[in-house]
């Protein structure tokens, strides 16, 4: 990157101008006409690339606006600009779908596929399968239900320790090393959800109904089929995912029981109740030993060592203001990495607050950022620059493992505890992710279930994936309420298993890195550089990893994790 550094702008100095919908419309219309008439692949390529530039400009303006809005949510200018994009992005998507439809029906399609690769055609066909004018109203109803749910959650007000708390500010109390505190905190959260149960049941019931209706209108037998299409699962199906979950039950669930047994011993408790689970260590979770002002310089140094390149990509991004790491008033919550397509530069936004999570999040988002930089020339189509979501999560999750050897830089003598905790959480997550996934298969496979039946189904599945959970008779969780805590179940159906699939691929990279760091890095580079040109299994196998669906892989990883965690 250092060659380009001279040309690289500072984020703060990039000029923002609201893009013109009219100009976009004109470009889309004329491209579409050209594509319909063209018999010459060069002509098609030229016009589609002109259109790509228009799309890239629109998306870049949107990304700049979103980031600046998130950095200061109180700024009315960016709020208004966000309203503009909320209103107009669907128009832009619709126009671009029209352009790609013309590509799909081109008389010289075979020649074009040869030239552009199959991926853009697969994506275009997929997009056409999941939307049609007949379902636009239903889609609007679906997203309004999602907004209702998010709105209620964002207004959550829990009075705890005499103070008003949100669900996220409750987290430290839920993990407290003081058992009484965490017990009361969990009770407060349980009470909150019990109070919302009826509303959430009604919203979810309507979501299941409308999603099933959309699926049927589009010609699918149920929403499971449509859900897989929405997630762009080109080379695996529900049967494969079921096999994956079965592998987790067989090889990972027993490990989690052992983890819980040791946790109980460490905490010196007779019985581990659900409110004890988030507290893994007697002395609490490890914290970084450096002040947060040093995260950037230490991060720069770490990535420099790791990739043997100075300044590191991380340093260059930071020196050009392409990151905002710390939590403060009027900054949006959460963390993400978003790319400015016109510049080919990713932006890292997160909310560090001096917990172990800061480092994991910084490294995770840096994985996304590194992949974005590496894949910049992987395709001439912006749609094919990054892969499907599970594959994107491999970039970020693998980075968490590849940075293990450098964690002394952040945690000093506690680095081992950090690594133990990180690995433990990863292993505990796998069965939970599968639980969330199977629950959704049950729900959408049986859309006429009553809310009560859904709660019962969840509780039954919990016993299979989390056999050690004991709710101590909690009136909300015991009858099967815990699924309501998971936003993805409401707002991103079928997304959750992606994290599990990515985890199993990332763990393979970790396992290779223990014996051969160079080989692990080569695989990682290959994965990142391929961008979105391949489907999941293709991508993983071409990089030299095994399919996450393989029973052998799960078995091997289970043994290695036990060895690593001394189980
Ligand atoms: Zn991620």
Distance 435 CA to ligand 1 centre (A): 20
Mean pLDDT of 373-398: 95
Categorize the per-residue pLDDT at 6 as very low, low, confident or very high, splitting at 50, 70 and 90. Answer: low
pLDDT value of residue 283: 86
pLDDT value of residue 1: 46
Distance 205 CA to ligand 1 centre (A): 29
Distance 348 CA to ligand 1 centre (A): 11
Categorize the per-residue pLDDT at 247 as very low, low, confident or very high, splitting at 50, 70 and 90. Answer: very high
Tell me which of 125-134, 221-230, 395-404 is least confident: 125-134
Mean pLDDT of the chain, nearest integer: 94
Distance 504 CA to ligand 1 centre (A): 15
C-beta neighbour count of 22 within 10 angstroms? 8
pLDDT value of residue 474: 97
Distance 6 CA to ligand 1 centre (A): 30
Distance 496 CA to ligand 1 centre (A): 12
503-541: per-residue pLDDT in tens?
999 999 999 999 999 999 999 999 999 999 999 999 999
Distance 336 CA to ligand 1 centre (A): 7
pTM (2 d.p.): 0.94
Distance 370 CA to ligand 1 centre (A): 12
Distance 364 CA to ligand 1 centre (A): 6
Q: Which two tokens stand for residue 103?
A: 């590509």
* Maximum pairwise Cα distance, the chain: 76
Mean pLDDT of 81-106: 90
pLDDT value of residue 201: 98
Categorize the per-residue pLDDT at 445 as very low, low, confident or very high, splitting at 50, 70 and 90. Answer: very high
Tell me which of 69-73, 194-198, 402-406 is least confident: 69-73
Nearest to 21 by CA among 66, 65, 62: 62
| SS3 category, 334 | coil
Residue 2 has pLDDT above 50, yes or no: no
Q: CA 152: distance to chain centroid?
A: 22
Residue 389 has pLDDT above 90, yes or no: yes
455-511: per-residue pLDDT in tens?
999 999 999 999 999 999 999 999 999 999 999 999 999 999 999 999 999 999 999
Mean pLDDT of 271-288: 91
Geometric angle at alpha carbon 426, from 239 and 351, rounded to 5°: 115
Residue located via tokens 């594959």: 391
Distance 296 CA to ligand 1 centre (A): 20
Mean pLDDT of 443-454: 98
Q: What residues have CB less than 8 Å from 425, skipping those under 6 apart?
A: none
Distance 392 CA to ligand 1 centre (A): 7
Residue 136 has pLDDT above 90, yes or no: no
Distance 396 CA to ligand 1 centre (A): 6
Residue 111 has pLDDT above 50, yes or no: yes
Contact 490, 203 (CB under 8 A): yes
Enclosing H/E stretch for 395: helix 389-402
Interatomic CA distance for residues 8 and 317, integer angstroms: 9
Distance 162 CA to ligand 1 centre (A): 35
Categorize the per-residue pLDDT at 13 as very low, low, confident or very high, splitting at 50, 70 and 90. Answer: very high
Mean pLDDT of 64-80: 94
């Amino acid at each position: 990157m250092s060659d380009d550094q001279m040309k690289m702008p500072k984020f703060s100095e990039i000029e923002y101008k609201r893009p013109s919908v009219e100009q976009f419309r004109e470009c889309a219309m004329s491209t579409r006409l050209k594509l319909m008439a063209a018999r010459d692949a060069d002509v098609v390529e030229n016009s589609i690339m002109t259109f790509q530039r228009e799309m890239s400009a629109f998306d870049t303006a949107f990304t700049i606006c979103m980031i600046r809005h998130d950095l200061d949510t109180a700024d009315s200018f960016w709020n208004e600009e966000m309203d503009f994009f909320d209103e107009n992005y669907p128009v832009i998507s619709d126009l671009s779908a029209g352009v790609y439809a013309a590509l799909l029906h081109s008389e010289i399609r075979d020649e074009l596929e040869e030239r552009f690769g199959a991926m853009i055609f697969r994506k275009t066909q997929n997009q056409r399968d999941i939307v049609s004018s007949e379902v636009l109203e239903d889609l609007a109803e679906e997203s309004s239900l999602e907004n209702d749910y998010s709105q209620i959650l964002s207004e959550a007000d829990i009075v705890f320790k005499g103070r008003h708390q949100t669900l996220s500010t409750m987290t430290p109390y839920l993990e407290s090393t003081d058992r009484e505190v965490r017990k009361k905190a969990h009770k407060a959260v349980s009470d909150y959800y019990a109070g919302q149960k009826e509303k959430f049941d009604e919203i979810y019931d309507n979501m299941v109904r409308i999603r099933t209706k959309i699926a049927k209108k589009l010609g699918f037998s149920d929403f499971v089929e449509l859900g897989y299409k929405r997630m762009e699962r080109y080379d695996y199906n529900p049967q494969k995912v079921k096999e994956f979950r079965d592998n987790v039950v067989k090889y990972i669930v027993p490990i989690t029981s052992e983890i819980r047994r040791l946790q109980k011993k460490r905490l010196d408790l007779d019985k581990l109740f659900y409110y004890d689970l988030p507290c893994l260590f007697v002395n609490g979770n490890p914290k970084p030993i450096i002040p947060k002002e040093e995260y950037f310089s230490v991060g720069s140094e770490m990535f420099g060592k790791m990739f043997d390149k100075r300044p590191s990509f991380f340093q260059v991004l930071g020196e050009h203001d392409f990151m905002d790491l710390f939590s403060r008033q009027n900054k949006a919550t959460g963390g993400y990495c978003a790319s400015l397509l016109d510049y080919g530069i990713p932006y890292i936004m997160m909310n560090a607050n001096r917990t172990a999570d800061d480092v994991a999040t910084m490294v995770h988002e840096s994985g996304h950022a590194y992949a974005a930089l590496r894949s910049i020339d992987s395709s001439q189509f912006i749609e094919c620059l990054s892969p499907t979501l599970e594959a994107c999560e491999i970039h970020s999750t693998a980075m968490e493992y590849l940075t293990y050897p450098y964690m002394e830089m952040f945690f000093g003598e506690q680095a081992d505890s950090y690594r133990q905790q990180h690995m433990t959480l990863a292993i505990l997550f796998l069965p939970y992710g599968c639980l969330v996934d199977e629950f959704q298969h049950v729900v959408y496979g049986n859309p006429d279930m009553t809310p009560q039946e859904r709660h019962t189904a969840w509780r039954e599945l919990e016993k299979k994936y989390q056999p050690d959970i004991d709710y101590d008779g909690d009136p909300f969780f015991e009858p099967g309420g815990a699924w309501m805590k998971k936003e993805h179940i409401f707002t991103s159906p079928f997304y959750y298993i992606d994290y599990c699939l990515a985890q199993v691929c990332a763990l393979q990279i970790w396992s290779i890195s223990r014996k051969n760091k160079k080989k692990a890095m080569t695989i990682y580079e290959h994965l990142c550089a391929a961008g979105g040109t391949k489907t999941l299994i293709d991508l993983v196998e071409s990089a030299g990893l095994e399919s996450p669906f393989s029973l052998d892989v799960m078995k091997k990883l289970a043994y290695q994790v036990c060895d690593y965690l001394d189980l």
